[in-house]
Structures are given as structure tokens and as C-alpha cells.
Amino acid sequence: MTTFSFEVLVTLKDGLSDPQGKAVEAALLALGWSNVAHVRVGKHIRLEVDAENVAAARAQVEEMATRLLSNPVIEDARVMEGASS
Amino acid sequence: MTTFSFEVLVTLKDGLSDPQGKAVEAALLALGWSNVAHVRVGKHIRLEVDAENVAAARAQVEEMATRLLSNPVIEDARVMEGASS
């Protein structure tokens, strides 16, 4: 068994209202950065999985991303192989 | 002026307690995934910046990441050039 590191990025689907992103955008504008737009706030999850090979590990992480880490109705989940932490 | 897309990943520094990560790890274990460890939950921010060139845009995003998007005392911020959304 080998330990693999992954990162999962969970973002709100385009078109859905993102009040947290709007709040961050307003704060950036208030600090003088007026050239910023389309701020969207999501989640970043880092984890480690023990598996026989990277393909098995990735398949498991994809399933965890869909079943627990994101709500597929309103969110997209992207799985990246991460640097070992 | 060109529009550049960036992603900022804000993660809790190693060594700091992450109750949200622990909760996610417990939920994954409860669903039967017992080979998962070191779950850490952070933030993912996507944004667009208008700038003359990518170097200027990245410098601005690095500054925004340190001054507003993260708390440098307890968090690390990583800036990535993102795919246009």
C-alpha cells in the first residue's frame, strides 16, 4: 500500500448566486482593488489515501468527492493529485 | 488591459488543529472509507483581474491573498493561474 495525496476543489456551479463571493469582492473593492471581478468562494479539501496504485486512489477520491465532499446538485468537484504534505 | 483568471487556495498551516477536517474524516470513516487520513479543509477562491500583463496580475493577487483572503498567522495562501471560466 502506498499513500497518495489529493486535493479536492469544490466550487459553486456557474450561474448560482454566491453571496460569500460577492462579500469578498465588495471588500476587495473597498480596499481599492477596483479591477477585480467574478469572485467565487469554494472549498479546498486536502487528504491522503492508502491504495495499491494511483488509479485506485483517484477513483476512490472521485467517489468521495461526489458522495460526501460536494453537493453535485449545486457544486462541481475537481480532484487533483497533490504534493505530499 | 487583459483579464486574467486566478485561483487562491487558503489552507490552515500544518500543526494547527482543524476540527472541520476531523469532522469530514469521521464522516468518511463512517461511510466505510477507512484508508483516509490527514483531511484538512480550506478555502478556494476564484477571481478575475484586469491587468497589463500576467506578472502584474499575479503580484496583485498575491497581495490580496495575504491582506484579505487569508490570515497569514494561521493560514497559507497559494496562488495558481486558473483556467478561464
Instruction: Count A/B contacts: CB-CB distance under 8 Å.
Output: 108
Whether B37 and A50 lie within 8 Å, measured CB to CB? yes
In this prediction, residue A82 carries a pLDDT of 79
Minimal CA–CA distance to A85: which of A2, A7, A28, A1?
A7
Nearest-by-Cβ selection for B33 from A33, A37, A60: A60
Beta-ladder partners of B40 = A46
In this prediction, residue B53 carries a pLDDT of 95
pTM: 0.91
Per-residue pLDDT tens over the stretch A45-66: 999 999 999 999 999 999 999 9
CB B79 within 8 A of CB B6: yes
Q: What ipTM is given for this predicted complex?
A: 0.89
Question: Hey, which CATH number is domain A2-81, 3.30.2130.10, 3.40.50.1370, 3.30.1280.10, 1.20.1600.10?
Answer: 3.30.1280.10
Confidence band of B7 (pLDDT split at 50, 70, 90) = very high
